[in-house]
Amino acid sequence: MPQTAAPVLLLGSCPGDDAEHVMRTLAGGIGDLVPAVPDGERDDRRYWVNFLAYRVYSEHEALDTMRRPRAVAGKEEWIPSGYDDFWRFRAKNGVTAVTFGPLGYARHARSSYDVFRRLREQGVVPDGARFQVCLPLTESGTRIFMADERTFDLVWQGYQDAMRREIAEISDVIPSSDLLVQWDVCIEVLAVATGDRDGVMLTWQPSSDPFDRYQHALAALAPAVPGPVPVGLHLCYGDLYKRHLVEPEDLAMVTRMANTAVTAAGRRIDYVHFPVPVARDDEAYFAPLAELSIGDAALYAGLIHDSDGVAGCLRRLAALRRHYPGRLGVATECGFGGRPTGSIPDLLALHRTVAEEI
C-alpha cells in the first residue's frame, strides 16, 4: 500500500501571511485527510517558477536579460501580467556552460520544516502527515524563460545539477519519514500538447522531442529523491490568472505521461495528479483512463471546483468513477495560491465533503 493512500491531495501553493499561517489553515481544515502538508509557497515563490527568473536567472553572470515583465500599476515588476509577459534570457556570447548556486528550494524547505515540526508537536499537524516539498521538473523551471535553444540546452544541464544539490540538502535536513516530494510538470505538458510551439510562451521550437525530454528529465531527477520518500507527479495545464495554457481535449495525453513515468522515473512513483476542467463531466474526457497503467500508485483527480460546489464536484466524480475503479483521491486542478485568503476554509470544507463520497 503506497504511503500516500489519503483521499485528498494539496497541490502546494496557498495564500497566507507566512508558512505557519498556511500550515495552520491547511492542517486544521483537512490535515487528517491528506498525505502531506505544504508550506503554501509564500514570498517569492507565490508566482511559481517566476521567482527563479527573478532571483536566479536575472542575476546570473552568464545570462543576458532580453525581456522582463511589463510594469503594471499595483504589481511588482518581476511578476508577469499574462502568458505573453514572461522574462526572457539568452546565454552570453562565448558561454559554453551555465552553472547555478542554490536555487532557493532547500532554503525555504529548511525554514518551513522547522515550523512544521513545531506545529506537529503542538498537535496542529497530525502525526501521520508528511511535509510536502514541490519542485518544478526541468522544463517547467527553465523553458519559458529562455530565448533560444542554445540557452535552453545550457541552462537545462545547469538546472538539473543544481536541483540534485537542492534535493540532497533537503534530504539532509528532513528525514525520509517526514518528507514527500511532488514534481510539478506543467511546461512539459504544454510542450507535448502543442508539439513544442504554442505561439505565446513557446516561441521557438527545440530540435528534440518534447516527450523524450520529459522522460529524460524524470530519469535524471526522480532518482535523486531518497527511496523511502513518497514521490508524486502533478500534471498541469497551467493556472496563471485562472486560465489554462491550453485546454485539455481529454485525459489521453496525461495518461500516457503517467504510464511512462512509472517506468522512466527509475524509482517508485506513489501518485499522479490529473486535471479535470469544471465543464468536463462527459464520458469522452475520462474514456482514456481505460489505458491508465500506474501499478498501485494513487490517482488524484483535480475535479474540485468551488464555482459549482458539491453538486458539480460529485457529477465529475461520478463520471470519472465510471471509467476508473482504482484507488482514487481528489484535489483542485492547481494550487490555491491565486485565491483570496478568506476563501480557503470553505474550499477545504468542499474537499472534505467530496472526499466522504469516494
pLDDT of 44: 82
**pLDDT tier for residue 45 given thresholds of 50, 70 and 90:** confident
**pLDDT tier for residue 73 given thresholds of 50, 70 and 90:** low
Judged by DSSP in three states, 267 sits in coil
Q: What is the bridge-based pairing of β-strands 231-235 and 271-275?
A: parallel
Lowest mean pLDDT among 5-19, 192-206, 303-317: 192-206
pLDDT tens digit sequence for 251-266: 999 999 999 999 999 9
Residue 217 has pLDDT above 80, yes or no: yes
pLDDT of 72: 66
pLDDT of 2: 45
Separation of alpha carbons 202 and 145, rounded Å = 9
Q: What is the mean pLDDT of the chain?
A: 92
pLDDT tens digit sequence for 284-337: 999 999 999 999 999 999 999 999 999 999 999 999 999 998 889 999 999 887
Task: Report, as an integer, the average pLDDT of 213-237.
Answer: 96
- Dihedral (CA of 136, 142, 145, 149) sign: negative
Q: The whole model's pTM is what?
A: 0.94
Separation of alpha carbons 149 and 29, rounded Å = 45
Lowest mean pLDDT among 67-76, 131-140, 158-167, 307-316: 67-76
Quote the percentage of the chain above a pLDDT of 90. 80
Judged by DSSP in three states, 155 sits in helix
Lowest mean pLDDT among 1-10, 39-48, 53-62: 1-10
Residue 120 has pLDDT above 60, yes or no: yes
Quote the percentage of the chain above a pLDDT of 70. 96
Task: Report, as an integer, the average pLDDT of 60-79.
Answer: 81
CB-CB contact of 335 with 42 (8 Å): no
CATH numbers and ranges of domains, the chain: 19-50+100-355 (3.20.20.210)
Residue 36 has pLDDT above 60, yes or no: yes
Residue 75 has pLDDT above 90, yes or no: no
- Dihedral (CA of 244, 42, 160, 99) sign: positive
C-alpha distances out from residue 214 to 1, 79, 190, 222, 226, Å: 27, 26, 11, 12, 21
Greatest CA separation for the chain: 59
pLDDT of 338: 79
pLDDT of 74: 61
Task: Report, as an integer, the average pLDDT of 65-80.
Answer: 76
Task: Report, as an integer, the average pLDDT of 24-49.
Answer: 92
Task: Report, as an integer, the average pLDDT of 80-109.
Answer: 91
CB-CB contact of 355 with 35 (8 Å): no
Angle between helices 210-221 and 149-173 (to 10 degrees): 30
